Amino acid sequence: MVRCGSRRAAEHDRIHCLLHMSALLDNIVWHTLCGPHAAHAAGSGDARRYLPGFVPFVGFADPAHPALPALASHVEPGELLYCDGWAGAAPPGWTIVSESVLCKMTWDGGIPAANNVPDAAVLDARHAAAALALAALTQPGPFSLKSIALGEYLGVFEGSQLVAMAGARVCAGGFREISGVCTHPGFRGRGLARSLVVMLLRRQTQRGEIPFLRVMRDNGDVSRFYRRLGFRDYRESVARSFSRDA
């Protein structure tokens, strides 16, 4: 027999766990920059950013009230940065360049069946220029020369040319982002990127991690692709690019 008090305690623990996970995922960049990627971060107080050369993401302890003064000395005038969760007006000295709605999605499909790409390669610093060139061509989202140093990236080559890739980047508290998913236009229709994503999902779920990703709301085709794959909508937030004035 399960005692009523035990059930209440178990439910309390479950709710506490869910709230903790929600707090992590709602502000995942901040928790990543303060935790697993702290060595790649700069900042002070309640503001952190990736070092130049990495992805230009910024995290704040309180995204609704970003500590921009604490960030100022770590940002060059005119440098474009990205954040999500900040919806207020820009203070003097800062400019909001663009604004959109970001959708976070979490994996809800268990451990995927094996779907390996026979010639998939693990990308490292030797492939950084090729990865950046593919990202510049296909625009999967913010990507920089050192992006593949932030997590596990897989790619498919045709000769010496990188033609598809997918990776795992932002991570904290058991959450692991799927990012940088793209295929060269001349090699689409073969399911290469999908297979690479499934390989990453399988590796992450086998480690007990929770895969998630972020897509723009107006990119409906991409959202539908990931829903069919097994992701579910989690939450929307404001996404901005911004810069410090000269």
| Per-residue pLDDT, 115 | 84
pLDDT of residue 246: 87
| pLDDT for res 15 | 47
Rounded-to-integer distance, Cα 237 and Cα 59, Å:
14
Q: Which two tokens stand for residue 79?
A: 């440098």
- Please give the pLDDT value at position 194: 95
Q: How many CB atoms lie within 10 A of CB 215?
A: 20
Task: Please report the pLDDT score of residue 1 as a whole number.
Answer: 46
Q: Which of 33, 37, 212, 56 is nearest to 141 (CA)?
A: 56
Residue by residue, DSSP assigns 26-82 as HTHHHHHHHTTTGGGEEEETTEEEEPBTB--BEEESSTTS--HHHHGGGS-BT--EE
Contacts 24+ apart (CB under 8 A), 137-142: 137/184, 137/185, 138/182, 138/183, 138/184, 138/185, 139/182, 140/179, 140/180, 140/181, 140/182, 141/179, 141/180, 141/214, 142/55, 142/56, 142/57, 142/82
- Alpha helices per DSSP H over the chain: 4-26, 28-34, 68-71, 128-138, 192-206, 220-229
Ordered by where they begin, the domains of the chain are 10-99 (no CATH), 105-238 (3.40.630.30)
Per residue of the chain (246 residues), give pLDDT as tens. Answer: 445 566 665 554 544 455 568 889 999 999 999 999 999 999 989 999 999 999 999 999 999 999 999 999 999 999 999 999 999 999 999 999 999 999 999 999 999 998 878 789 999 999 999 999 999 999 999 999 999 999 999 999 999 999 999 999 999 999 999 999 999 999 999 999 999 999 999 999 999 999 999 999 998 899 999 999 999 999 999 999 999 998
The pLDDT score that the predictor gives to residue 8 is 62
Element containing residue 175 per DSSP (H, E):
strand 175-183
How far is the CA of 104 from the CAs of 140, 216, 239, in angstroms?
Answer: 15, 9, 11
Region of 189 on the Ramachandran plot (φ > 0 left; ψ -120 to 50 alpha; else beta): left
Residue 185 neighbours by CB under 8 Å, 6+ apart: 137, 138
Q: What letter would DSSP give residue 222?
A: H
Residue 58 CB coordination number (10 Å): 26
The residue to which tokens 């990127």 are assigned: 193
> pLDDT value at position 118?
78
